């Protein structure tokens, strides 16, 4: 409902600004830019204020590997690669 109202308000604003503008090439450009900025602000505001989906898409969780013999196990370690934090599996044996 809010999106429909915002979109119709944007269209009405643009249509109103175009009907009031005189048909000269010198003044029509400024009105067109102003109408585009106003319409973009209205539509962008409507999109930004819309609610996101409450649940994301399906997520795949990999099953943990079976424990290896001789007291070893897998552990996830975070490391910095210079750009972002990453996670990698590391085998730890005692």
- Give the separation between CA 55 and CA 69, rounded to whole angstroms: 40
First-to-last alpha carbon distance for the chain, in angstroms, is 62
Q: According to the model, what pLDDT value does residue 78 have?
A: 93
Q: From 39, 52, 41, select the one nearest 10 (Cα to Cα).
A: 39
User: For residues 2 and 45, what is the distance between their CA atoms, to the nearest angstrom?
Assistant: 11
Residue ranges of domains in the chain: 2-48
SS3 at position 81: coil
Report pLDDT for 18. 60
Output the pLDDT for position 88: 94
Name residues of the chain where pLDDT drops below 50: none
How much is the pLDDT for 76? 93
CA distances from 23 to 13, 28, 29, 66, 74 (A): 18, 7, 10, 77, 73
Is pTM beyond 0.85? Reply is no
pLDDT of residue 77: 93
pLDDT recorded at residue 28: 64
């Amino acid at each position: 409902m809010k999106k429909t109202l915002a979109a119709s308000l944007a269209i009405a604003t643009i249509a109103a600004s175009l009907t009031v503008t005189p048909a000269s090439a010198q003044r029509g450009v400024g009105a067109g830019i102003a109408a585009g900025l106003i319409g973009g602000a209205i539509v962008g505001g409507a999109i930004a204020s819309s609610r996101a989906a409450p649940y994301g898409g399906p997520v795949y969780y990999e099953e943990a590997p079976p424990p290896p013999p001789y007291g070893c196990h897998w552990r996830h370690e975070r490391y910095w690669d210079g750009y972002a934090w990453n996670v990698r599996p590391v085998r730890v044996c005692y």
